[in-house]
Amino acid sequence: MGQKEAHMRTVWWEDGVVKMIDQRLLPHQFEIVAFDNEHDVARAIREMYIRGAPAIGAAAGFGMALAAQRSQAATTEDLLNDLRTAYDVLYASRPTAVNLRWALDRMMALATSLREQPHQVVRDALVAEAQRIADEDIETNQRMARYGAELVPEGANILHHCNTGGLATVDWGTALGVIRMAHEQGKNIHVWVDETRPRLQGARLTAWELMQWGVPMTLIADNAAGYLMWSGQVDLVTVGADRIAANGDVANKIGTYKLAVVAKENNIPFYVVAPTSTIDLQTPTGRDIPIEERDPREVTHVLGQCNIAPEGVNAYNPAFDITPHELVTAIITEYGVVRPPYEENLRRVVEQAEADRKARQASGSV
Ligand SMILES: CSC[C@H]1O[C@H](OP(=O)(O)O)[C@H](O)[C@@H]1O
């Protein structure tokens, strides 16, 4: 079995195809897969070869670049129509992580802005933009890690849910990026790793990443988290996000809300780590965020194999839940730590990010 080499990315463009780690097989198999069309990239997102909001956004960007490369359009207007079709194919892959729409909108806006250019110019520009989305993600994650590590006390016991590491992003990670930074700063931390039923991102992916990084950790059943918080064995909880509404409500892996309630009950700080690309000012509150419902078989069959329930049992499999902003101590972004009032403070960092991106575009540094 191969290994994720240091600084290897989760998804990347190579020789005209998109390559990614097939996360369904981890931790016992390490396989890289390659796709040459947007339909296969959409399927890879839907079937969770690749998952995690920022990683999904980057994959979607590369999917649009593939669509442009594959298009047989004779005119740029026809190419734009092909790209609109690819947008819809990729957008339909998973509904909750807003990074998917964010990346698709960014790629489509660029293509549209080049409608007077020859279509080869458009094709090349889209590959470059997808690369920029990927490159920016790593820089963003390292900025968040530095801000977040300042909030981690020496010797902290940290509870983490799902997977938010390099595998959930292009590299480095969001909440796990903060944990990695605190570890590398010598803060002697320890991580309680929620297994995260039913897809077990914690047991399969977070444990694997933290062991690779040499971070002290202990794997727990999801249901042990409450006892650990009640018994004073957790100093802070940190999670990622798939979409943050304008008022600060947070969509994240199913089980997050329960952790936030118990953390509040035990006066434990609850931090969300997410880039501004995960903040959706178009969505007013958490009740407006679409929650993905996945195949109930993910609940009844562990990793699609071992049936743990009676044949024909009813099962329900919401993949995310909503944590009301009142339960969120702070949201750590690449523009710093955002605290309440979330409505105005989230808008401020999103507008700052957009202004910076336009300035980079204008200066030609992108
Ligand atoms: C850094 S975002 C990671 C985010 O995505 C995970 O969901 P999934 O594995 O289904 O894509 C989970 O919600 C994580 O917090």
What pLDDT was estimated at residue 235?
Answer: 99
**Which has more confidence, 119 or 90?**
90
Of all atoms in ligand 1, which is nearest to the CA of residue 169? 1
pLDDT(361) > 90: no
Atom 1 of ligand 1, residue of closest alpha carbon: 164
DSSP letters spanning 3-19: ---TT--SEEEETTEEE
Q: What is the pLDDT of residues 179-201, one digit of tens each?
A: 999 999 999 999 999 999 999 99
pLDDT(365) > 90: no
Q: What are the tokens at 94?
A: 């998973």
pLDDT(133) > 50: yes
With a 6 A CB cut-off, is 152 part of the ligand 1 pocket? Answer: no
What pLDDT was estimated at residue 3?
Answer: 62
DSSP letter at 316? -
* Residue 109 and residue 230 in one domain: no
CA–CA separation, 235 and 75 (whole Å): 59
Mean pLDDT value across residues 202-215? 97
Q: Residue 281: which CATH number?
A: 3.40.50.10470
Q: What is the pLDDT of residues 150-176, one digit of tens each?
A: 999 999 999 999 999 999 999 999 999
Of all atoms in ligand 1, which is nearest to the CA of residue 163? 14
The alpha carbon of 122 and the centre of ligand 1 are apart by a number of angstroms equal to 32
With a 6 A CB cut-off, is 201 part of the ligand 1 pocket? Answer: yes
DSSP letter at 166? G
Averaged pLDDT of the chain = 96
Full residue range of the structural domain in which residue 110 is found: 11-142
Tell me the three state secondary structure of residue 179: helix
With a 6 A CB cut-off, is 183 part of the ligand 1 pocket? Answer: no
Tell me the three state secondary structure of residue 199: coil
Q: What are the tokens at 109?
A: 């806006």
What pLDDT was estimated at residue 6?
Answer: 59
Q: Residue 75: which CATH number?
A: 1.20.120.420
| One-letter amino acid for residue 294 of the chain | R
CA–CA separation, 78 and 183 (whole Å): 51
CA–CA separation, 331 and 241 (whole Å): 10
The alpha carbon of 24 and the centre of ligand 1 are apart by a number of angstroms equal to 14
Active site residue 171: no
Q: How many domains does the chain have?
A: 2
Contact 273, 177 (CB under 8 A): yes
* Residue 127 and residue 163 in one domain: no
CA–CA separation, 305 and 78 (whole Å): 45
Catalytic entry in 222, 242, 249, 321: 242
Here the ipTM equals 0.98
* Residue 171 and residue 305 in one domain: yes
With a 6 A CB cut-off, is 334 part of the ligand 1 pocket? Answer: no
